[in-house]
Chain A
Amino acid sequence: MSTATLSPAPATTAADADDTRIGLRANLRHLGALTRRNLMRIKADPESMLDALLIPVIMIVLFVYVFGGAMAGNQHEYMQYMVPGLLGTTGLNLAMALGTGLNTDFQTGVMDRFRTLPIGRSAVLLSKMIAETLRAIVAFAVLIGFSMVLGMDIVGGPLKLLAAVGLSLVFGSSLMWVSMLLGMSLRSAQAVQGMSMLVMMPLQFGSSIFANPTTMPGWLQAFTKHNPLSALADACRALINDQPVGNSALTVLVWAAAITVVTAPLAVARFRKRT
C-alpha cells in the first residue's frame, strides 16, 4: 500500500474570501445566548447589583435626612431637588460595570474561548450593553420605588419620569464606550472599578445634583456649570417636578453624542485589535 500526501486540502473556490458570513438569525441567536450568559453572571453575583443600589440608597437617606434640613430648610423640598438628579446618575454607574466585566473576560481567558468560536465579535460587546441596560432598568425601578416610599412625588407623571430614565440611559450608554476603553486598557477589574470611581466621584459632587451651584465658590461654579452631570440632573429634576426643562436635555444629548463620537471608534478599534 502506498500513500500520497496531498497538501493543503483544497480550499474553497474563492481562496481569498473568508466568506462564511454569519447570518442575521445566527447573529441574533449568539446575541441571545451571550446576553443570557451576562444576565446569569449578574444573578450569580448579586452583590454587584447591591453595590449599584446601596450607594444611591445611602446617599438618599444621608442627604435627605442628615443634610436636607440644613440645605433646603425642609426635607421634602430637598428630596424633590436632590433625588431626581441622583436618579439621573443610575444609568452612568451601571455603564461603568461594562468595563469591569469586559476586563474579567479578557483576564480569565473567556474572551479567548469566544475568539476561537465562529461568532461575530460585535455580539460579545452588544450582549454586554444589553445586559447592563437591563440591569440599569431594574436599578431604576428599585430606586424610584424606594424614593416614592420615602415620599418623593412624581409631579410630572409617568411619561416624564420615563423621559428622565431614557435620558439617563442615553447618557449612560455613551459612557459605556469610555468604560470599555478603561476595561481594555487597565490591568485588572479592580483597577477598572477604582478608576471609574475616581472619574465619577468629582463629577457627581461637582455638579448640581446635591446643591444649587449658585451656593458654590466661583471656581467650582465654573466647573459645575459645564459638567454634563449638572445638565443631566437639571433635566431629570425638571422632568420629575414638571418644571420647564430649558436646554438642559439638549445639552445632555449633545454631550452623549460627542462622547460617543470620540470614544466609540477608539473603543471599537482597540477591541478589534485585541480580538
Chain B
Amino acid sequence: MTRIERNAVEVHGIVKHYGETKALDGVDLTVREGTVLGLLGPNGAGKTTLVRVLSTLIKPDAGTAFVGGYDVLRQPKQLRRTIGLTGQYASVDELLSGYENLYLIGRLLDLSAKDAKARAVELLERFSLTEAARRPAKGYSGGMRRRLDLAASMIGRPKVLYLDEPTTGLDPRTRNEVWDEVQRMVGEGSTVLLTTQYMEEAEQLAHALTVIDKGRVIANGGIEELKKRVGGQSLQVRPADPAQLPEMARALQESGVPATFSTESGLLSVHLTDERRLTAVIGVLGTRGFAVAGIDTKLPSLDEVFLTVTGKSAVPAQTRDKEPVA
C-alpha cells in the first residue's frame, strides 16, 4: 500500500538578517502532516525568528516557505486561517479576563457568539483556568498567562500549530497538561512545530527533530537516530563525600569506564553507551567501598546533543582541562 504523505510545513533556504546578525542563514526543514517536529537550538539560534516568519509576522530576506500549501509571502491571509501561534512571550490582553480574551479570538476567527462562548469555556476548563476565568489576566501568574496563550492559539482548531518554548517556566503538573493538550491536538489531526530547549520535551512529543544553531540547521532526523548519535542516557552518581569525586572517577577510568565529574554540582557522570556500563559502574564503586548518596539516569541534555552533533566533545571543559586521571 502506498500512503501519500504531505508536508504541512516546507521551508526552503529561508534567510533573515538583522544587520550583522544572521538570525536565519538558509534554513531548510519540513514537517510531515499530522506529526510534531521538535526544533531544538540554544539561545539565539533563530527558533523564534523562524516561527515568526512562518506565522507571517516578519518577512524573510530570501527563501520560500509553505504552510498547508500556502506561500508565506504571497498567500498570508489563507495561511493565517490554517495556523495557531503561541509565541515565546505571552500575548494576552491584560485588562480583559481569561474568558474575554478567548471569546474575542473566537469571534475574530468567525465563530458564532454561541460557539465562541462554548469553545472559550471548554479550553479554560482544559487548561485549569475555569476558576480564574472571570478575573483580569493582569492578575494571572506567569504559568496561567502561558496557559491562556496556549488556549488562545487552539481556539480555531488550527491545522498547523506553532509552539515557541511552550513549557518554559511551567511547573511539572502544568507542563504535563500542556503536553496532553498538544497530543490531543495531534490526535485530532493537527501538525505541530515545537521549539524547545528540553530534550525531554522533544522526546515526549516530537516525531522528528531539527537542531539549529546560528541560523543554520546542524542536524535533522528521527529522535532515536539522534539519540543514538549522542549515545543514550547518562548516569549521574552523587557520592556521600564530594571530596571523593576525583578518586571515584580514577577508579572507574582504571576499569575502562570513562567518567567525568563536576565539583560544582558534586556529580559524577558516565555515558551509558551500552547496558553493561551501568552494572560495571555499580560493580566498581561497590568493590572499592565508595559510599553513594544518590544515583540517577538522565537523557542527554540539549547541550550534549548539540555538542555531539557539532562534532565537539560533550565532556565538560572543567574535567577536560585537568591532567589525565588514568
Residues of chain A at the chain B interface (Cβ within 8 Å): 1-12, 15-20, 22, 26, 29-30, 32-34, 36-37, 40-41, 44-45, 108-110, 112-119
Given contacts A7-B30, A116-B83, 4 further A-B contacts (CB under 8 A): A7-B10, A15-B71, A114-B108, A116-B85
Q: Is A118 a contact of B96 with CB atoms below 8 Å?
A: no
Q: Is B81 a contact of A30 with CB atoms below 8 Å?
A: no
Q: Is B71 a contact of A11 with CB atoms below 8 Å?
A: yes
Q: In the complex, what's the smallest C-beta–C-beta distance from A65 to chain B, in angstroms?
A: 36
* Interfacial chain A residues near B30, Cβ < 8 Å: 5, 7
What are 24 A-B pairs at a CB distance below 8 A? Answer: A1-B1, A1-B3, A6-B4, A6-B7, A7-B6, A7-B10, A10-B69, A11-B69, A12-B78, A15-B74, A15-B75, A18-B74, A18-B76, A19-B78, A29-B110, A30-B108, A34-B108, A37-B96, A41-B95, A109-B87, A113-B85, A116-B56, A118-B80, A118-B109
- In this complex, how many residues of chain B approach chain A with their Cβ under 8 Å: the count is 48
Q: Is B74 a contact of A40 with CB atoms below 8 Å?
A: no
Q: In the complex, what's the smallest C-beta–C-beta distance from B29 to chain A, in angstroms?
A: 12
Q: Is A9 a contact of B7 with CB atoms below 8 Å?
A: yes
| Contact code string B57-77 (vs A, CB < 8 Å = 1, else 0) | 100000000101111001111
Nearest B-chain residue to A1, judged by Cβ: B1
* Interfacial chain A residues near B136, Cβ < 8 Å: 44
Binds A, one of B99-107, B215-223, B251-259: B99-107
* Interfacial chain A residues near B100, Cβ < 8 Å: 37, 40
Q: Knowing A44-B136, A117-B105 are in contact, say whether A6-B93 is a contact too (CB < 8 A).
A: no
* Interfacial chain B residues near A116, Cβ < 8 Å: 55-57, 80, 83-85
Nearest A-chain residue to B106, judged by Cβ: A33
Indicate whether B92 reaches chain A with its CB closer than 8 angstroms: yes
- The distance in angstroms between the C-alpha atoms of A143 and B58, with both chains bound, is 45
Nearest A-chain residue to B78, judged by Cβ: A20
Q: Give which listed residue, A7, A11, A110, contacts B70 with CB less than 8 A.
A: A11
Residues of chain B at the chain A interface (Cβ within 8 Å): 1-8, 10, 30, 32-33, 55-57, 66, 68-71, 74-78, 80-81, 83-85, 87, 89-96, 100, 104-105, 107-110, 136, 152
- The distance in angstroms between the C-alpha atoms of A29 and B152, with both chains bound, is 19
* Interfacial chain A residues near B77, Cβ < 8 Å: 18, 20, 22, 118
Nearest B-chain residue to A37, judged by Cβ: B104
Q: Is A7 a contact of B91 with CB atoms below 8 Å?
A: no
Q: In the complex, what's the smallest C-beta–C-beta distance from A36 to chain B, in angstroms?
A: 8
Q: Is A6 a contact of B5 with CB atoms below 8 Å?
A: yes
Q: Knowing A5-B5, A9-B7 are in contact, say whether A112-B74 is a contact too (CB < 8 A).
A: no
Q: In the complex, what's the smallest C-beta–C-beta distance from A125 to chain B, in angstroms?
A: 15
Q: Give which listed residue, B87, B96, B109, contacts A112 with CB less than 8 A.
A: B87
Q: Is B69 a contact of A41 with CB atoms below 8 Å?
A: no
Q: Is B5 a contact of A117 with CB atoms below 8 Å?
A: no
- The distance in angstroms between the C-alpha atoms of A84 and B74, with both chains bound, is 53
- Which of A18, A30, A32, A112 is the most central at the interface, judged by chain B CB atoms within 10 Å of its CB? A18
- The distance in angstroms between the C-alpha atoms of A29 and B111, with both chains bound, is 10
